[in-house]
A and B are shown apart, each in its own frame.
Chain A
């Protein structure tokens, strides 16, 4: 077992930061890392020349306003059961959110797994059940499996609103969008599926080390130490801190399942706009499970939330406290933007942990 005691890791971080000598920006891509950084108080112990920047890896935060509004339209459909992960329930639409719709009579249920939504549809055959499918490659293979199971079982009262995103195109959009990032801590559980090697082309193209990092504060500390050491040594590529779970090439079985149910498609992200090849769409063979088609959902013009600067926060261009709304009008109790709503949003983490 490796030594993940904080003290020697802090020493490694300090030593490497001293050796580099210049200002370094490290982006943690994943919202779960943002949370771990807050939980471990890591921001406060960083050397002065090491800046941690939160990235676009909170699925709820990057869900476009158009998708949020259409999810609300779905929830309002009479007789429909809308199943969602808990994180989504308070994400603000322009005039409402899922929690408010529920209090006004919509049947919105929080589920732990997409399997729960499928089981509900099997139990309540006289109801139509929709699952709001958000998440990155950690979550989407399971949803793909549910699609295949629903198809196999001939379900006709079950559909999905698919808003899945892919991590790599968003990382590239951050780099090409003008945010200077010297190294990435890449999401450990996405990487369990896609494999660490998936970051190689990006790492080489932009000369950034990508360190696949686990989710405990000690993991993140070691990931930072590794990123700084690779930067100092001028080594570019993908590296693995999270050796406990990452296998060479990722989980091919899970990836194949994903690609059996979904095609890669263009996707609209909050803050990042439309990114080619950054999202998933149900394959035509499974279009009967597509809530958008089933309920003829219209395109909704995205009205940005007034004053909200989540878009810049998600691109690493703005730290949460630099937003004028942060901490006064926008708090976890009265969130204006999605980065304050989700417990993994960078604004919520900064508010909670400082």
Chain B
């Protein structure tokens, strides 16, 4: 339930964004963030960006996720 994954904002319209998430384009709501811009990395849970991430931190999380990919990934 508490899974959240790094995604990169590719387009913003009002408080909604399109984000690139593991190669897929998904919608994410930005209303829980002070501010966000295209290109930012965010942590997405259940359709909401919970926090901004530095590109390095996003990359580290993605790398760790890759280590065990395909072994029990769950929907949040």
- A-B contact list, 27 entries, CB within 8 Å: A32-B3, A39-B72, A57-B2, A85-B75, A112-B46, A112-B47, A113-B27, A113-B46, A114-B46, A114-B47, A115-B29, A134-B1, A135-B1, A138-B1, A145-B29, A189-B43, A214-B64, A215-B3, A216-B65, A244-B53, A244-B58, A244-B60, A245-B43, A251-B51, A253-B33, A343-B74, A352-B72
Q: Which of A58-106 contact B (CB under 8 A)?
A: 58-60, 85-87
A219 with B64: in contact, given A189-B45, A245-B53 (CB under 8 Å)?
yes
A134-B2 Cα distance, complex, nearest whole Å: 11
A257-B2 Cα distance, complex, nearest whole Å: 19
Interface residues on B, range: 20 to 34
Q: Is A31 an interface residue (CB 8 A)?
A: yes
- Complex contact A40–B68 (CB within 8 A): yes
Who on chain B is nearest to A112 by CB? B47
- Complex contact A189–B4 (CB within 8 A): yes
- Complex contact B47–A251 (CB within 8 A): no
- Complex contact A39–B68 (CB within 8 A): yes
- Complex contact B32–A116 (CB within 8 A): no
A343-B65 Cα distance, complex, nearest whole Å: 18
Q: Of A86, A113, A192, which one neighbours B47 at CB under 8 angstroms?
A: A113
- Complex contact A139–B45 (CB within 8 A): yes
Q: Is A285 an interface residue (CB 8 A)?
A: no
Who on chain B is nearest to A110 by CB? B75
A85 with B68: in contact, given A145-B32, A245-B57, A247-B51 (CB under 8 Å)?
no
- Complex contact A251–B50 (CB within 8 A): yes
Q: Which of A27-74 contact B (CB under 8 A)?
A: 30-32, 35, 38-40, 57-60
Interface, chain A (partner B; CB < 8 A): 1-2, 4, 30-32, 35, 38-40, 57-60, 85-87, 112-116, 134-136, 138-139, 141-142, 145, 148-149, 187-190, 192-193, 214-219, 243-245, 247, 251, 253-254, 257, 342-344, 352
Min distance, Cβ A30 to any Cβ of chain B, angstroms: 6
Since A32-B2, A189-B50 are in contact, a sample of 4 more A-B pairs with Cβ atoms closer than 8 Å, ordered by chain A residue number, is A57-B2, A115-B29, A218-B67, A245-B61
A135-B57 Cα distance, complex, nearest whole Å: 25
A219-B76 Cα distance, complex, nearest whole Å: 18
Min distance, Cβ A221 to any Cβ of chain B, angstroms: 11
Min distance, Cβ B37 to any Cβ of chain A, angstroms: 15
Q: For residue B76, which residues in chain A have a CB less than 8 angstroms away from its CB?
A: 85, 112, 139
Q: For residue B27, which residues in chain A have a CB less than 8 angstroms away from its CB?
A: 113, 115
Who on chain A is nearest to B1 by CB? A59
Who on chain B is nearest to A146 by CB? B29
Q: For residue A135, which residues in chain B have a CB less than 8 angstroms away from its CB?
A: 1-2, 46
Min distance, Cβ A193 to any Cβ of chain B, angstroms: 7
A38-B71 Cα distance, complex, nearest whole Å: 11
CB-CB nearest 7 A-B residue pairs: A113-B47, A142-B48, A244-B57, A216-B64, A254-B32, A32-B2, A138-B2
A142 with B1: in contact, given A244-B61, A247-B51 (CB under 8 Å)?
no
Who on chain B is nearest to A115 by CB? B47
A39-B59 Cα distance, complex, nearest whole Å: 21
A192 with B61: in contact, given A39-B72, A251-B32 (CB under 8 Å)?
no
A114-B45 Cα distance, complex, nearest whole Å: 11
- Complex contact A138–B45 (CB within 8 A): yes
Q: For residue B3, which residues in chain A have a CB less than 8 angstroms away from its CB?
A: 32, 189, 215
Q: For residue A116, which residues in chain B have a CB less than 8 angstroms away from its CB?
A: 47
